[in-house]
Amino acid sequence: MARYILKRFILMVVTVLIIATLTFFLMNLLPGSPLNEERSTNETVQRNLEAHFNLDEPLVVQYVLYLKSIATFDFGPSIKQPTETVNSLLGRGFPISAELGIWTILVAVVSGITLGVFAALKHNGIIDYIAMTIAVLGISIPNFVLATMLIQELAVNRGFFPAATWSTPSHMVLPILALATGPMAIIARLTRSSMLETLTQDYIKTARAKGLSPVKVVVKHALKNALMPVVTILGTLMAGILTGTFVIEKIFAIPGMGKYFVQSINQRDYPVIMGTTVFYSAFLVFMLFLVDIAYGLLDPRIKLHEKGGG
């Protein structure tokens, strides 16, 4: 298991390095300079600005300095907000985005597994049809469209929830629903199909023949194995949720990282764009790393394979 974790960790580091490299060179392929709007008739001021942001250095030197900033977790100052550093923007915006993402994942996983289990237990019944209808709608409607519908119906027309910002639990309901519905639908469909297959296995029939209660059969014997495919796709779902928060944050005026990331793209604020991209990529890759470990713990065959192949 230790060797399995070490391999995944090395892969994680290499992946982040590749993403950082691609981000740097793609940003430098863009025509013009992030200081175009700050161009002054005073050439001395222009040169000082370029020197301050290391834009006067050769590309190789800029790349080395960029890697150093990643290694020391110091992404430098923002070009468009001179009084701010990229680290301070991350420190202010990421906790809000992380809170939104965590609550979204919890709601999606709990509701999706619950719907999937009940749909499998009531296969071809009314509960199954209702659950799968909800799942199909959840997959079909993009989160930004759903967010607009929720604001219109539940905030504007009904006044049940506030439409914007992120300060009280009531402010969190609509953005979490908009983000969680899609992943919840995917988890529900996957859990249902996996549960249907698991419930036909011989060990489930044996457990029932022993007189175990239906709840114990489902929770203790069937659910653990049925959740393996769900654990497998959690990493992908996290990616969708984390990237989706940028759009939802913009719609609901949530002061998370989405606000700064969108602004940095519009303003061509290279340090903020690259710092945010690398930070989120590293965070996402780390989450995938944890999912790999969880998968290895849940499935002993992975550990056996590593031992046999090592």
| pTM of the model as a whole | 0.77
DSSP string, 197-243: HHTTSHHHHHHHHTT--HHHIIIIIIHHHHTHHHHHHHHHHHHHHHH
Question: CA angle, 76 as apex, 75 and 78 as ends, to 5°?
Answer: 110
d(CA 283, CA 88): 17
Residue 145 burial (C-beta neighbours within 10 Å; 0-12, 13-18, 19+): exposed
Query: Can you give the pLDDT at residue 290?
Result: 78
Query: Can you give the pLDDT at residue 243?
Result: 66
**CA distances for 161 relative to 37, 101, 147, 268, 302, angstroms:** 41, 19, 13, 35, 46
Taking CB atoms within 8 Å and a gap of at least 24, the contacts of 127-135 are 128/192, 131/188, 131/192, 132/188, 132/189, 132/192, 134/185, 134/188, 135/184, 135/185, 135/186, 135/188, 135/189
Least confident of 16-30, 141-155, 217-231, 241-255: 217-231
How confident is the model over 101-135, as pLDDT tens digits? 889 999 999 999 989 888 888 888 888 888 888 88
How confident is the model over 200-253, as pLDDT tens digits? 888 778 877 877 777 777 777 777 777 777 877 877 777 777 766 888 888 898
Please report where in the chains the tokens 């119906």 appear, as a residue.
153
Please report where in the chains the tokens 């090592």 appear, as a residue.
310
How confident is the model over 247-296, as pLDDT tens digits? 888 889 888 888 788 888 777 788 888 888 888 888 888 877 877 777 66
How confident is the model over 72-83, as pLDDT tens digits? 888 888 887 778
- What counts of helices (H) and strands (E) characterise the chain? 14, 0
Least confident of 26-35, 39-48, 176-185, 192-201: 39-48
pLDDT for 48 beyond 90 = no
pLDDT for 89 beyond 50 = yes
Buried b (16+ CB within 10 A) or exposed e, 202-240: eebeebeeeeeeeeebbeebbbebbbeebebebbebbbb
pLDDT (average), residues 170-176: 92
Query: Can you give the pLDDT at residue 177?
Result: 92
Output the CA torsion 207→212→216→220 (10° steps). Answer: -30
pLDDT for 11 beyond 90 = no
Q: Which residue has the higher pLDDT, 31 or 26?
A: 26
Query: Can you give the pLDDT at residue 108?
Result: 92
d(CA 40, CA 50): 12
DSSP string, 240-272: HHHHHHHHHHHHTT--SHHHHHHHHHHHT-HHH
Helix (H, G, I), strand (E, B) or coil at 164: coil
**CA distances for 70 relative to 57, 195, 237, 271, angstroms:** 18, 44, 26, 11
Please tell me what DSSP assigns to residue 123: T
Nearest Cα residue to 175 out of 153, 199, 149, 147:
147
